[in-house]
Structure 1
């Protein structure tokens, strides 16, 4: 097992261990304790996801659906790059899922982190944030300007932009108009399994 993988798993363990602290010890982006992980069933998108322009960590302007997501199944988390609490725990789990999904990235599957604060989550901040978690070629980090951000989050069933929010990961199959919401603090294995289930649901022609 590589030292990089060991380092990421150790970081995830430390992050999860930090959750034993009282809720008030975390920064102000999250209130109270995290809800228990609940891997809900398959749900329909709240209308087609708009193909809005986004800015990624490399300062490239791209279309969200046609260029960033494409035909893939994508696991999405919602981040505040300045958050020192639960955002990092979820992103560490995304890093673990990246390792598990391995060769399925980036052709079949992908990871996507959406910044919740268009002012603070700049391309530079997103690049630094992604670097902390070893984001590879299959993992995009993007900023979306309001009001398009509000619309994207609403359709995904995500949190309010820039607001306190409960942690979650949304696994999206835009081609089929389906989402799987993992509420709370999903393990890397749960994220990877939800992505695999969505891919399997497409059948052999996927």
Structure 2
């Protein structure tokens, strides 16, 4: 039933940087160290394993598309209390410019969009950025400049498995539908 709900959340097509819709089979990303908005080092899969997660990639210095992504997650955050299930739901913004996405920049990013306690931000080491972006998108080739980064949202189940990729700049309800389906399973 969850697979049907996830499949219905968005039509199968191709986004700018990779496939979208249900990820079959589910994918576990390589575990990398991240530095979060508090300056703490955390493992990616530990963060993802804390509940059902919607993940986006941003860079805090972006003045074009990333603010739209922040507003998108802010709208999703507003609807999260209505999502009921066996697992908690959370949001994670991954900074893809480690040279600028410092803990203080990540804190400012979250504050800009009035992030609550279920929305975190973190940045991998520079050497991990391209590998993480490729794994998220399902691409086998490098994705190029970060200024051309994907605006997809990636949803993970409570076992830290990537289960769904959105279209570029998805609708709030599509993300909420995917999170709700994963939270029930």
1:102 corresponds, among 81, 100, 107, to 81
Q: Please report the TM-score for the alignment, with normalisation by the length of structure 2.
A: 0.77
Gaps of 5+ in 2: 1-14
* Structure 1 moving runs of 4+ over 6 Å: none
How many correspondences in the alignment? 163
Gaps of 5+ in 1: 1-34
Superposition pairs for residues 1-206 of structure 1, below 5 Å?
Answer: 40-44=20-24, 48-66=28-46, 68-102=47-81, 108-157=88-137, 162-173=146-157, 175=159, 177-200=161-184, 202=185
Q: Secondary structure at the match of 1:49?
A: coil
- Rounded Cα–Cα distance in structure 2 between residues aligned with 1:118 and 1:54: 10
Bigger relative contact order (CA 8 A; separation at least 6) = 2
Q: CA RMSD in A?
A: 2.6
Aligned-pair CA distance for 1:124: 0.8
- Rounded Cα–Cα distance in structure 2 between residues aligned with 1:132 and 1:88: 9
- Rounded Cα–Cα distance in structure 2 between residues aligned with 1:166 and 1:52: 20
Given the superposition, is the C-alpha separation of residues 45 and 136 from structure 1 closer, same or farther in structure 2, using an over 3 Å criterion?
Answer: farther
Given the superposition, is the C-alpha separation of residues 45 and 152 from structure 1 closer, same or farther in structure 2, using an over 3 Å criterion?
Answer: farther
Q: Please report the TM-score for the alignment, with normalisation by the length of structure 1.
A: 0.69
Q: Is the 8 A contact 2:74 2:114 kept in 1?
A: yes
Q: Secondary structure at the match of 1:50?
A: coil
